[in-house]
Structure 1
Amino acid sequence: MGWLWSSAAAPADAKAADAAAPTSQPQTTPTQKPSPPTTPSQPLTPAQLAEKDLQAALAEFDAENKASAPKKPIFKRTPRAPTEGTPSTATPESELNVEDALYPTTMSCRDAFDAAFYCQSLGGQFNAVYRYGGMQSCSDHWKSFWFCMRSKSYAGQREDMIKEHYRKKALKYKVGPSSEDVWESREKKMEWGEAFSEGVEELLPGESDEEWNVRERKRREGRNSGTV
């Protein structure tokens, strides 16, 4: 009769095993969103290219200004003066070139660009009229700016190139017209109300600008000499 008990217990064991087994749930795979279609890159317009070049130049100027920031001075110990017993090793006076040491060896491209840009402005031309008696060309300022940009590629020779550039510039502008050639220098202080008190003579009927300038020049010369 034992086989009856064993056969009856078999279904109960199968149910317990089924209850103990973990229920498997279907796994859900995440769905990926389709990527948006890539649009071909459009060519830049001339205005965008100019803006890109300007931003690159300004970034280069900022890097140069940071690199040329003033550093802490280095104090060197000066040698003592030679005594009577020791021979002097100083350089002869004929070999000293003090003027050569006055020219700078560094140059800021940002300052050169600002000077050229200011020269083309209304204020820059008014300053030129006051100093030189007429409007001036800004080509020299732009030449200095492009020279500064080119000299960056000569790392070992840049200091000598900049010094030579300023030497040539000094030889060109050392002797030239000044404001005293345009305006008369004042030797005494003017009294209150005397400045800009003289009226400007009008053109005579049929008189040209050149004829008026000649007549006005003669009038000023006569006033300075005391004949008028």
Structure 2
Amino acid sequence: MTDTTHNDDIDTTALFAEIEKEKLGDYETCSASETFDAAFQCYTLGAQAINYYRYGSKKDCAGKWEDFKFCLKTKTKSSELADAMLRERKANKEAARMRGRNSEEVWEAR
């Protein structure tokens, strides 16, 4: 009795998909839907109230819209270029955040 089925055949489609997934996993990406949601969430009463309590002023949401527009720009670029753009922007935003105000400048420690 001879078995005619071969279990040694490799599913090339699944293998190719796995290789592509590994390659893309190394790149920085952004989600347009998440950045869009963050921009709208910035205008909510809760977010504005928290910012007013912490910093004493209305929250400026222009940066959230800039993040959304920047994310859309990266979608038309190659993975390598988009990765470089996103990493540079992330580093610049972190540096700006470290230079910015914090709540201790508004409130006195008890």
Structure 2: tracts of 5 or more residues without a match: 1-20
1:166 aligns with 2:82: no
Aligned residue identity for 1:184:
E
Matches within 5 A, 1:72-221: 105-156=28-79, 157-186=81-110
Residues of 2 paired with 1:172 and 1:142: CA distance?
A: 17
Structure 1: tracts of 5 or more residues without a match: 1-70, 73-103, 187-228
Tell me the TM-score normalized by structure 1: 0.34
Residues of 2 paired with 1:179 and 1:119: CA distance?
A: 18
Give 1 or 2 for the bigger CA radius of gyration: 1
For these two proteins, the number of residue pairs brought into alignment is: 85
Tell me the TM-score normalized by structure 2: 0.67
Deviation at 1:136, TM superposition (A): 2.2
Q: Which has the higher contact order (CA 8 A, sep 6+)?
A: 2
2:6 aligns with: none
Matches within 5 A, 1:55-74: none
More helix by share: 2
Aligned residue identity for 2:75:
K
Aligned residue identity for 2:70:
F
Residues of 2 paired with 1:167 and 1:146: CA distance?
A: 18
Local SS of the residue matching 1:174? helix
Local SS of the residue matching 1:130? helix
